[in-house]
Structure 1
Amino acid sequence: MIRIDPHTHSACSDGTDTPAQLMMAASRVGLDVVGLTDHDTTAGWEDAAAMVERTGVALMRGIEMSTASNGISAHVLAYMPDPSFPELVETMRRSRESREERARKIVQNLSADFPITWDAVVAQTRGENVPVGRPHIADALVEAGVFPDRGAAFDGALHPSLKYYVHYWAPDPVDTVRLIRRAGGVPVLAHPRARARQRILSEDVIADMAEAGLFGLERDHRDHDAAAREEVERIADRLGLHVTGSSDYHGHGKPNQLGENLTSEYVYRAVEEQASLEVVRP
């Protein structure tokens, strides 16, 4: 059995491991394939690929793309697209800039009630030119002693329902699916029924995404209980979509552990067949 965890993050976005450390960690837990899917960036691909021979772990190069529909945020995993595709490059750039602008506004809002500064937030980033986002704000609040961990910060001051929250620009999810396909990638909707996080996309929007070329839904995820997984399975069956499973590993920033959820070899091979890039193998 091949052990495949296709959704992880490095310090190039909001993870805490460098891409090299991520590959080493994947090797230690016995993964055969890992997907590096940082938020709106391919910055970690090269360093992760350089560790494939040393670790013996194959690499799926991906991106977790920010999207929004009627004020509802959703993430679409783009597996193995052409990283130089101009429209993809521009969309990621706009998303990163918008998210950092949003982060500045959130910090300004929080500073009225909590001991937090922009410099303290920037200090939480672990790579060069890493766009600052809410996870880094959470880490700064933890360091200041306001919350015990990142999860508590997201459930507390950073919850979207509170006055500190600020929306940001992101492309439409249906348009994003089409873009990923034009760039030669394979789109999968991440944690589509993670209701504890925020509002979720309607089944009608997911159907529109499927018509636009959505490959699958991430079913097996820490944020999906048994009922949510059954719901995802039902939607996937109705729309003719594949289902995936993954850890959404972020290093020590979240409790998610590498390999805690996996994707079947059958689905992995189907992604390979449709993608423009190849898996980087030892």
Structure 2
Amino acid sequence: MNAPINADLHCHSTVSDGTLEPEVLAARAKANGVELWALTDHDELGGQQRALEAAQAQGMKYLTGVEISVTFADVTVHVVGLGFDHTDPQMVEGLADTRDGRGPRALEMSNQLAKVGIHGAYEGALKYAGNPKLVSRTHFARFLVESGVCRDTSEVFRKYLTEGKPGYVEHRWAKLGDAVRWITQGGGIAVIAHPARYNLSPTLEYALFTEFKQHGGQGVEVVTGSHSSAEAIRYGELARELDLLASRGSDFHSPTESHVDLGKLPPLPAGLTPVWSQLRDRIH
């Protein structure tokens, strides 16, 4: 039996859509008792070396990480990669191709918002983006809160940035098989992130996990910031049923926006195999 450790294997820095630098995140994780950490910026590896060095400086164990956006059955699903070679050329090139679509999408989102009287949204979102190639809905949401259009980012998403609302623009992401292959060919393990968030029908969810496993995916995020305790139990049962490794991560973005702080998650349900138990030789 593996002794439970405080692993937080899902969070974001200013390299994608978080508000803290990788070094600040590392210090926060350490202060909150995290023993094994991974930075998983969206479709971007630019913070990995910084995070690795910061974790080592804090005396904390580290796994390389990324969160890749994929399109599955016309739904955007996120796949977390852990323990891969962050210099692997196939992943670096694949993620660059995926990111290229974000710039035009951001401009189109701004145009749509202008039509409902919200002007200057692209420039406003850019102020919050540490990486101009990764302007996302989260950056637009922060601008709309700052400019007084909405009270908080949740209200922004509800009114403007989800499907059918004025600022929503669909983007075709990587294919599920490509994302899993980039991770596994680099020596890592692929994990379906926060599965409860996708609101898939039971049939579609089964199809997602079946295809994911066929491509070589091995894990599912059971305990995460957006899962209720009931959802953690449900996906723990799914992990057992499908023989998947269980992961745990806060999905922390910001001290003022995130539901759960780094390292403050409940433990994995009993009887699961933690993803990190299969990545011992990849831990820095």
Same fold (TM over 0.5): yes
Cα separation, partners in 2 of 1:88 and 1:54, compared to 1, 3 Å = closer
- The 5 A counterparts of 1:41-80 are 41-80=44-83
Q: How many residues align?
A: 274
Aligned counterparts of 2:180 and 2:266: Cα–Cα separation in 1: 23
2:272 pairs with 1:272? no
Other structure's SS at 1:66 match: strand
1:244 and 1:263 in contact (8 A); partners too: no
2:2 pairs with 1:2? no
Superposed displacement of residue 143, structure 1: 0.8
2:165 pairs with 1:158? no
**1:142-190 deviation digits (Å, cap 9, x = unpaired):** 1110112222212221122324311112122133213321222210000
Aligned counterparts of 2:49 and 2:87: Cα–Cα separation in 1: 14
* Aligned residue identity for 2:127: A
1:122 aligned to which of 121, 126, 136:
126
Segments of 5+ residues of structure 1 without an aligned counterpart are none
Segments of 5+ residues of structure 2 without an aligned counterpart are none
2:261 pairs with 1:257? yes
* Aligned residue identity for 1:272: L
For the aligned residue pairs, the C-alpha RMSD in angstroms reads: 2.2
2:222 pairs with 1:219? yes
Q: Residue 88 of structure 1 corresponds to which residue in structure 2?
A: 91
Superposed displacement of residue 254, structure 1: 2.6
- The 5 A counterparts of 1:65-214 are 65-117=68-120, 118-125=122-129, 127-129=130-132, 131-195=134-198, 199=200, 202-214=205-217
Higher RCO, 1 vs 2 (CA within 8 Å, ≥6 residues apart): 1
Aligned counterparts of 1:80 and 1:255: Cα–Cα separation in 2: 26
Other structure's SS at 1:89 match: helix
Superposed displacement of residue 27, structure 1: 1.4
Cα separation, partners in 2 of 1:137 and 1:72, compared to 1, 3 Å = same
Superposed displacement of residue 128, structure 1: 4.8
Aligned counterparts of 2:278 and 2:133: Cα–Cα separation in 1: 28
Aligned counterparts of 1:81 and 1:208: Cα–Cα separation in 2: 21
* Aligned residue identity for 2:218: F
Aligned counterparts of 2:119 and 2:260: Cα–Cα separation in 1: 26
Cα separation, partners in 2 of 1:35 and 1:42, compared to 1, 3 Å = same
Superposed displacement of residue 81, structure 1: 1.6
Superposed displacement of residue 246, structure 1: 1.5
User: Structure 2-normalised TM-score?
Assistant: 0.88
Superposed displacement of residue 53, structure 1: 3.7
Aligned counterparts of 2:53 and 2:237: Cα–Cα separation in 1: 39
Q: Residue 16 of structure 1 corresponds to which residue in structure 2?
A: 19
| % identical equivalent positions | 27
1:99 and 1:169 in contact (8 A); partners too: no
Cα separation, partners in 2 of 1:9 and 1:163, compared to 1, 3 Å = same
Superposed displacement of residue 262, structure 1: 5.8
Aligned counterparts of 2:245 and 2:275: Cα–Cα separation in 1: 10
1:220 and 1:261 in contact (8 A); partners too: yes
2:23 and 2:50 in contact (8 A); partners too: yes
2:231 pairs with 1:228? yes
Aligned counterparts of 1:53 and 1:235: Cα–Cα separation in 2: 34
Aligned counterparts of 2:233 and 2:177: Cα–Cα separation in 1: 23
* Aligned residue identity for 1:71: D
Superposed displacement of residue 102, structure 1: 1.2
Choose 18-27 or 176-185, whichever is displaced more: 176-185
Aligned counterparts of 1:71 and 1:109: Cα–Cα separation in 2: 21
